[in-house]
Structure 1
Amino acid sequence: MSLSVEGTTRAEEQLSNEGVAMTVVLTIAGSDSSGGAGIQADLKTFEAFGVFGCSAITVLTAQNTMGVQAIHPLPVPFIVAQIESVLSDFDVAAIKLGMLYNREIIEAVAAIIKLLTIPVVLDPVCVSKTGSPLLQEDAIEALRALCRVVTLSTPNQHEAYRLFGYEGGESDLPGILLDHPAPVLIKHHATDTMCADMLYSGATKRVYVADLIDSNSEHGTGCSYSSAITASLALGFELDEAIGRSKQFITEAIRFAPAIGHGRGPINHKQGGLYLAARTLCHY
């Protein structure tokens, strides 16, 4: 170990003078007052993956594990100001998009995204886990167009049906998805014991399988899954490995979910991160 004249290590000198280099990611999404989904879940996921998370809030929601009680979209100029404020100061390595709610917000965000060359992962939020609508009806076309210009979109089966006409089977795969210019990860094809996610990239299909956890605590899984993929891409993982390690993270976060709330509870981001860290150490 190299020591300076004062007796401190050179590494310590560097830390005190320059700080620690850290990968920065940005989430553009809605706020969840219960802390289980939205930007709150995104930031917890970023922390678990060891990246620095920034946020631009699109919508304020009053919600808990039982449902969404109120939605308040923020003015588009203020949303844009948040995004530009982060991008002008930080070297952002990847962006996650979550709840965008209306056509005006989607189009404003899309205009910014099209100017960037970094990975962008879209969780095309349409409905909450409790069934509350989180996207205005006239915004579906704008959201569908946004799916075409991102690095990856991660709809669940309901969202995939609304966006692409996907009905759940390979034989039902519509031409719009076969000809889609960007990869699409359709989540949660479940059997009695396993949960599979399907990645479609043109005519190519890849399956990601994990244990099906019998749990009522799945609030924020879509947000956290897409954020985990975003963090992994920012750290330099290829898409296939980014999805695989994120699938492991989500599975363990559900397995050790905290018993809080009276409805569909949140997941355990910390435990998911610990599992991922342990697996990483096993490779060394």
Structure 2
Amino acid sequence: MNSAESHALALRLYEAGRFEEALALLRQALADGESSEVWSDLATVQFRRGEVGEAETCFRIALQMNPNEVQAAANLGAMLLGQGRAADALPFLERGLATMTAEQRSAMQIKIISARHAVQLRPFGTAQKLEQFLRLYVSDDANERSYFETHIARYVATLEGLPEGNPGQRLLELGAAFHHLTAALIRCKGYEEVRCTDVWEGEPSCKRVLTSRDGKFRDEVTVDNFDLQSSPWPYADGGFDVVLCGEILEHLALDPMALMAEINRVLKPGGTLLLTTPNLASAHAVEQTLRAESPYCYGQFEVG
């Protein structure tokens, strides 16, 4: 038999539970001509036989030969997650999503959420470590860095105050702006989907890729651009488990009850709203107001 024939017969034997014979044929196929598919299938058989170390080596060889071998990535990620190695598993699980069917993606998303829970919030559980994670998403722009430094304590407190996300749960982040919190909501809190709103001009809805400065983390989010206080919100009733409204109310020029009514509409019954706004009675806010400046840390009132 040639390599392809040995490989095909090995797969049939594997499906029949004849692992020893399948293993021998896969090794013969590799001897006749290496391929990433054979290495990946060899790893799968080894894993079923309990040869975890050997299986990991073979999966990694398959991915070195072909980084687009997504089934190998998915299987390696699932195996590592089962060993409690969530940090190692997460990149492979995410890579494995690339060419999956909708049903397969749904199952894999559950594994990814589990891995994120195990990896992120626990290591970044202290305020100091959460801050380190948040700094991975700050650009070199001077204005952005100034804004970040002003609000870092609030960012950390916000993350600590939000409930943990679970598979299938959705969070709506209002006024995401610089997206300083967005990646942490995905990576640290574990929500399956984080949807963002902004008020900048542009497409009504667009995709934005959030990449950490070290290149380790990469997430795609949907950003909806509309006026929170006067435009219809493009979301179904009860579509979100959590709504985050951080430092938004003080920016509104109209009655904030329209915004509150929409938040109530899009939240699921029993959902969570986390709302923060500056203390108007603080010395800082009073001083700002007397200067005809807004009570938040940036911007001025428009006086006509």
Range into which the TM-score falls when normalised by the shorter chain:
under 0.3
| Greater Rg over alpha carbons, structure | 2
Higher normalized strand content (fraction of residues): 1
Higher relative contact order (CA 8 A, sep 6+): 1
Higher normalized helix content (fraction of residues): 2
